[in-house]
Chains A and B, each alone.
Chain A
Amino acid sequence: MIQFDKVSKRYPTGHEALNGLSLELDAGEMAFLIGHSGAGKSTLLKLIMLMERPTHGQLLVNGKNLNRLHRSQIPYYRRNIGVVFQNHQLLFDRSAFDNVALPLLVSGYQPREVGRRVRAALDKVGLLDKEKMNPIALSGGEQQRLGIARAVVHKPRILLADEPTGNLDPELSAEIMDLFRQFCEVGVTVLIATHDVDLISRMGMRQLQLQQGRLIQDGVPA
């Protein structure tokens, strides 16, 4: 589903954030991206989101070579992906419902369909009773779950998360990770960048360890 082939990313500052990186993630697979701060985890996710372009190498997602994807095609490509950020990127000028509805509205779904799907997503993350609330009134864990609901409301094939448990306590973090696993179980390809090694080591999932833009370890820890 996701295939990096000797991908390098050099930022305009000259910093080489990824260095000839190759890896492959199958459809429906779940993996964690680990490594120190500055190892290149966010950069890798941004390349998949086409928020950045590789300077070298090829990146294939769902069989498509992203290098050949034209700028104007990017929005349609992104509709196949859900993203969750540490800073959740929620909009505080509208309700929880409207935040989650956004991916559906931009793709032109019918209002009836929007309502049905948004409620299904909110239900999935346990926030159905908070749909009318402003996200600013939600707790940190709830905000993060709302971000997840928004990331999955349009049933993407791929779910990416960048430090989704960054500022949550261990219990909430475990809850969030469990949510991601449930999406993986219904066939979504899930890739999560995190530095919470303690938490994920218990999950028995594949881990991709980055160091200075290189993949130094790949597999399920023994």
Chain B
Amino acid sequence: MNRYRRGKPEKMMVSNSRGGKSAKEPRRGASGGRVSLLGKLRSYLQSHRHLFFSTVKRLASEPIQTLMTSLVVAIALGLPAVLYVGVVNLQQLGSRVETTTQITVFLKIDSSQKAIEQFQKNLISEADVDTVEYISRQQALEEFRILSGFGDVLDMLDENPLPPVFIVQPVAHFQRDLVASEVLVAKLKGMALVDDVQLDMKWMQRLQAMLVIGERFALSLGLALALGVLLIIGNTIRLAIESRRDEIVVVKLVGGTNAYVRRPFLYTGIWYGVIGGILAWVLVAVGVQWISGPVARLAELYQSLFELMGLGFFGLIVLLLIGASLGLIGAWLAVARHISSIEPK
């Protein structure tokens, strides 16, 4: 230590001259870090506007990468959208098709001919009943013999095991109303002569049930694919972060906050989602357009006014919103995991 001396005199001279300088520069400290609140807000908005365009520019400068990611997002968004369009159109189709619900009434096997005739009269006078068809035990046996091919077995039996049956068609407004049909079924079941009642769900009801399943399927497929979109965008953003590592390090060294570093990546994620949403809409629209010709000709054959429905403007908005949200969340997941781990070393 003794070879050196602390250079007090010289330093004091320096600090004297500095004292004068800093007095002439009273705003130096303030302008070094702080900016007025209004100015801050303005530059915040400006920086967002700047980000809006600069992130687009960056995406446009890598068109292949951008298109690939957006296309994958588009397909993931488009698949459930196609299913949805299919379900909606089938529902629309179903609501236009006339259909028949029929109720099969099994009478007690030992019902007398007289009681059966009376029962038939009662049935016809029932307000909810449109038509009634009677199948006697003998007719039922013949039918069964022909249809089942178990004729030999039946011949071995001493007695006809089949009960008398009525096939009941409810009035028109019951046709698509499952609940009303069930009420009628319960009423029939309560009658003295009746052994059992069976409501035949015709293909319309089956279709309705299938459509409910289809809707659920579209929803769960949509959720699974949404997860896929999160992963795709998350991974793309992760790679983008990785490729801009040097820049992130420098930005952090000069006082950039995590939020500042995050922002362009969040914007980029949103853009992927939005572009993907638009592409998905276009894909679905093209698909609908493509099959609408044949469908119209088919409808003509059946003299139906059926017209294929697309996604429409509302569908576009929904796709954009879903795409943008998924893009933001996916980017956020990537950014939260990777940006805070990049620190200057």
Contacts and interface: CB of A to CB of B under 8 A. Distances in A.
B344 interface: yes
A123 interface: no
Given A106-B255, A108-B47, A206 B247 contact: no
Given A110-B42, A154-B254, A187-B28, 11 more contacts: A75-B257, A78-B254, A80-B32, A80-B33, A103-B254, A106-B257, A110-B46, A185-B18, A187-B18, A187-B21, A220-B7
B10 interface: yes
B203 interface: no
Contacts of B249: 89
B4 A219 contact: yes
A83 interface: yes
A51 B43 contact: no
17 contacts: A28-B18, A30-B14, A49-B344, A77-B255, A78-B252, A79-B33, A91-B246, A103-B254, A106-B251, A108-B40, A185-B14, A186-B18, A204-B10, A217-B1, A219-B7, A222-B3, A222-B4
B250 A26 contact: no
B149 interface: no
Given A78-B255, A110-B43, A26 B15 contact: yes
Nearest to B260: A106
B44 A103 contact: no
Interface string A69-88: 00010011111100100000
B253 A89 contact: yes
Nearest to B244: A93
Interface residues of A, number: 46
Interface of A: 26-30, 49, 51, 72, 75-80, 83, 89, 91, 93, 102-103, 105-111, 150, 154-157, 184-187, 204-207, 217-222
Interface in B1-60: 1, 3-7, 10-11, 14-15, 17-18, 21-22, 25, 28-29, 31-33, 35, 39-40, 42-44, 46-47
Nearest to B11: A29
A79 B250 CA distance: 12
Interface residues of B, number: 44
Contacts of A222: 3-5
A107 B35 contact: yes
Given A79-B255, A106-B251, A186 B35 contact: no
* Residue of B1, B47, B254 with most chain A CB atoms under a 10 A cut-off: B254
Contacts, number: 125
Contact of A93 (B14, B35, B247): B247
B47 to A, nearest CB: 7
Contacts of B18: 28, 185-187
Contacts of A156: 32
Contacts of A30: 14
A172 to B, nearest CB: 23
A102 B43 contact: no
B250 A219 contact: no
Contacts of A187: 18, 21-22, 25, 28
B200 interface: no
A106 B21 contact: no
B90 to A, nearest CB: 53
Contacts of A218: 1, 4, 6
A28 B15 contact: yes
A111 B39 CA distance: 11
Given A155-B32, A185-B14, A206 B6 contact: yes
Contact of A220 (B5, B40, B246, B260): B5
A76 B7 contact: no
Contacts of B344: 49, 51
Contacts of B256: 75, 102, 106
Interface in B137-171: none
* Residue of A51, A77, A111, A187 with most chain B CB atoms under a 10 A cut-off: A187
A142 B53 CA distance: 31
A75 B255 contact: yes
B37 to A, nearest CB: 11
B61 to A, nearest CB: 11
